[in-house]
Structures are given as C-alpha cells and as structure tokens.
Amino acid sequence: MIHTATEKSILQAAKTVFFKKGLAAARMQEIANEANINKAMLHYYFRSKEKLFGAVFLQAFGELAPFLNSIFNSDKPVFEKIREFVDGYITFVVDNPYLPTFIIQEMNINPQFGETFFRNHVTPDPSKFEEQIAREIEHGNIRPIDPKQLVLNLISLTAFPFVGKGLVIGILDLDEIAFKTLMEERKKLIPEMIINTIKVQ
C-alpha cells in the first residue's frame, strides 16, 4: 500500500491514457512517455498491462463508489437524496469526464472482469435507498413504483448524456458550450421530473 512518487506518476499517466483510449488501444510506451519514465518501470511496479489496468480501474471505481454510496446511505429523505445525487454526480463528472464512460466501456468489453470486480470490491450499492423508497411507498408518502426502476431512471437521466456525449452532441446538434449549459440545467430539471412523477398529488 506504499506508493512511491514513481508509482503515483505511473498510475496518473496510466489513468490518462487508459481513460482516453481504453485498455486495448492504450500502449505501454505511451504511458511511459506520459509519466516520463522508462517502459521497464511499468513492469517493475505493475508486472503487466492487465495488472496496471486493474489498478487504474480500481482507483477509478474507488473515487466514484464511496461518493455514490454516501448519498444512497445517508439518513436524508428521498427527495433530498434525489437532488443530491443529480447535483453531485453532474458536478463530479464535469470534473472527471472520462470516468463513467471508462468504467462502462471496459465492463461491456469484458463482462467477466466486471462481475469479478463487483464481487470483490466496494461498489455503488443502492439497496438501502431502495428499501427507503419501498417504505415511503408503503406509508403512502410517494406513489407506487418499483424502487429499482426509480434508481435506474435516476442514473439513466444523469449519467447517459456524459456516457453518450459524442452521440448526444451529434444528434442534438450541440457545441461544447451548449452541452455544458444543458447539463447545468439538468441539475434542476432531472430532480423536478423524477419527484413530480412520484409525489402524491
């Protein structure tokens, strides 16, 4: 768990290259250049490309998962969690634009990797949040909906524009600025929409 300066610079460089190109298209030499070190150092510290990739993936998830879980598992009311999730996630992703795409991309290309990962690491877990939703429905405080569908709506509306950014910009005919404006507007729009769907009249 000790991280030397070299090890850190390797991880940072690997992150940059893997995020931009994905596992298969990333080159060890490019990572070495990015880190201003010899290519052999990559193997000295991480043994193989796959191991290095695993370390980067772990770190990426390690940034996102606790953040999401802190929202899912707080003791705040449902509506507030929805607002916090959307605002927090969009803010987070604007600063880390490659992260969610990277995770989804590599989990799709190698589903086995994803499964193993979910079994062995701290990952986003909305189960408490789902229970909370179910309870509120029972008490008649919100309208009936499958909690999983609600969570899926929340994630879809929030994450998709970033994951499919290239396509979204193309389809909606946006430039970079228009895209960012739209995303900022969504911080309000998405919670309003979801809450409007489940609040009792």
Report if residue 168 touches DNA, rule: CB under 7 A.
no
User: In the chain, where does DSSP find H-type helix?
Assistant: 5-25, 28-35, 39-46, 49-72, 78-95, 99-109, 111-120, 127-138, 147-163, 165-172, 176-198
Rounded to the nearest angstrom, the gap between the alpha carbon of residue 18 and the centroid of all alpha carbons in its chain is 15
Q: Exposure of 40 by Cβ count < 10 A (0-12 exposed, 13-18 middle, 19+ buried)?
A: exposed
String of contacts with DNA for each residue 21-50, x by CB under 7 A: -----xxxx-------xxxxx-xx--xxxx
Report if residue 36 touches a second copy, rule: CB under 8 A.
no
- The least distance separating a second copy from the CB of residue 6, rounded to whole angstroms, comes to 27
**Residue 142: helix, strand or coil by DSSP?**
strand
Report if residue 20 touches DNA, rule: CB under 7 A.
no
Q: Which is nearer to DNA, 12 or 96 (CB)?
A: 12
Which span sits near a second copy by CB under 8 A: 5-13, 33-41, 43-51, 149-157? 149-157
Return residues touching DNA (CB under 7 A). 4, 6, 26-29, 37-41, 43-44, 47-50
